[in-house]
Amino acid sequence: MTRLLSSLISLIILITAVFFLARALPGGPAYAILGLRATPDAVGAVNMALGLNEPVWRQYLIWWAHLLHGDLGTSFLLNRPVTVLLAEYAGNSALLYAAGLGAAACLAVASGLVHGLCWKSWPGRAIGALEIAFYALPGFFLGTVLIAIFSGWLGWLPSSGMSNLRLQHPGLADTARHLVLPVATIMLFGFAPLSRYFAEGVHAERESDYARAAAARGLPPWRIVIRHVLRNALRPFVTMLGLSFPAVISTTLVVETVFGYPGLGWLLWRSALRQDYPMVLGVVLVAGLVTMTANLMADLTNRWLDPRLR
């Protein structure tokens, strides 16, 4: 209950900061709608129609009052309900996010296990060097490099979008081809810290007293690793996986912009450029709720894996 309350408070602070910072920026949605050469009278009329002529604190209270009734407002630029737009784009982001995080977790467990078991030998050192290298690279740079190699140089994969617009009925294979590069970007960015953390856990469990005692009793090394070391190392890894959700979500939003992928990140970038306040707040609210839910699920999973936490 305490964790849920603290998460809600953090979400409220995030929404409040975004609300006031967005309105502190120069310009406004009226200029995005009318153009930079709009007259002051036309700008004032648009602001009055959008409710932006009210004091900022009043706009803030009105937004929360509408939210309590399930209304996130209407997009200034697209003139459509924010909830409808979020529903259209959230599925695309969920597909990309789940695929990227799942691939990152699988790669982290595999590489972290080898790294932890070969801690002082050359395979472990090589994997450790790769972890540091990928951890230091930002997501947008990884995406740009992958586009340059596999789309520009080799021409194997598309560089943007979710499907081929020239096809009337793009199939699953076409969608999968468009997902390869953005999923690979999220995977390479996300696996590095997870793999390092899991490798340290595997190494610590491998050198623990109970593992040494099991080896002294004659148990095969593979049985010690699978039945004891791997299971105990996965418990803190699940917590780390939950804590990495905010970083992976932010990377997903950036990756969508780099690859022109029609998801919430692309929608957020487009709306922020044109100061579409309701749309920006809607995307931030969804991202915050997803992060909060993911962290709570990670806690519950960790409690299920470790009875001592109950």
With the CA atoms of 156, 161, 163 and 164 taken in that order, what torsion angle do they form, in degrees rounded to the nearest 10?
-70
CB atoms within 10 A of CB 263: 25
Q: Is residue 227 part of a domain?
A: yes
C-alpha 53/C-alpha 66 separation (Å) is 18
* 261 close to 96: Cβ distance less than 8 angstroms: yes
Please tell me the predicted confidence (pLDDT) of residue 302.
63
Q: Is residue 148 part of a domain?
A: yes
Q: Do both 205 and 63 map to the same domain?
A: no
C-alpha 310/C-alpha 304 separation (Å) is 8
Place of tokens 């799942």: 102
Please tell me the predicted confidence (pLDDT) of residue 1.
64
Q: Do both 31 and 134 map to the same domain?
A: no
Please tell me the predicted confidence (pLDDT) of residue 309.
53
Q: Do both 30 and 173 map to the same domain?
A: no
Q: Single out the residue in 43, 68, 93 at which a domain terminates.
A: 68
* 213 close to 131: Cβ distance less than 8 angstroms: no
Q: Is residue 150 part of a domain?
A: yes
Please tell me the predicted confidence (pLDDT) of residue 166.
62
What global pTM score does this model have?
Answer: 0.76
Which CATH number belongs to the domain containing residue 179 in this structure? Answer: 1.10.3720.10
Q: Is residue 78 part of a domain?
A: no
- Region label for 4, one of left (φ > 0), alpha (ψ between -120 and 50) or beta (otherwise): alpha
Q: Is residue 28 part of a domain?
A: yes
Closest CA to 100 of 239, 238, 230, 256: 256
Q: Could you give phi then psi for residue 211, rounded to 5 degrees?
A: -70, -40
C-alpha 131/C-alpha 38 separation (Å) is 52
Q: Single out the residue in 68, 98, 119 at which a domain terminates.
A: 68
Q: Could you give phi then psi for residue 81, rounded to 5 degrees?
A: -60, 140
Q: Do both 30 and 106 map to the same domain?
A: no
Q: Do both 44 and 102 map to the same domain?
A: no
C-alpha 254/C-alpha 19 separation (Å) is 21
Residues paired with residue 74 on neighbouring β-strands, in sequence order:
81
Closest CA to 180 of 292, 96, 120: 96
Q: Single out the residue in 33, 68, 103 at which a domain terminates.
A: 68
Q: Do both 269 and 158 map to the same domain?
A: yes
Please tell me the predicted confidence (pLDDT) of residue 205.
75
Q: Do both 127 and 166 map to the same domain?
A: yes
Please tell me the predicted confidence (pLDDT) of residue 170.
66
CB atoms within 10 A of CB 243: 15
Q: Do both 151 and 291 map to the same domain?
A: yes
Closest CA to 135 of 201, 202, 195: 195
Six token digits for residue 292: 């909060």
- Total domains present in the chain: 2
Q: Do both 58 and 119 map to the same domain?
A: no
Range of the domain at 27: 2-68
Q: Is residue 174 part of a domain?
A: yes
Q: What is the pLDDT along the chain (310 residues), one digit of tens a residue?
A: 676 777 788 888 888 888 888 877 777 777 777 776 777 778 788 778 777 778 888 888 888 888 888 888 888 888 888 888 998 888 888 888 888 888 888 888 888 888 877 777 888 788 888 888 888 777 778 888 888 888 888 888 887 777 665 656 666 777 788 888 899 888 888 888 888 888 887 777 777 767 677 667 766 766 767 766 777 777 777 777 777 777 777 777 788 888 888 888 888 888 888 888 888 888 888 888 887 777 777 667 666 655 555 5
Six token digits for residue 74: 């209407």
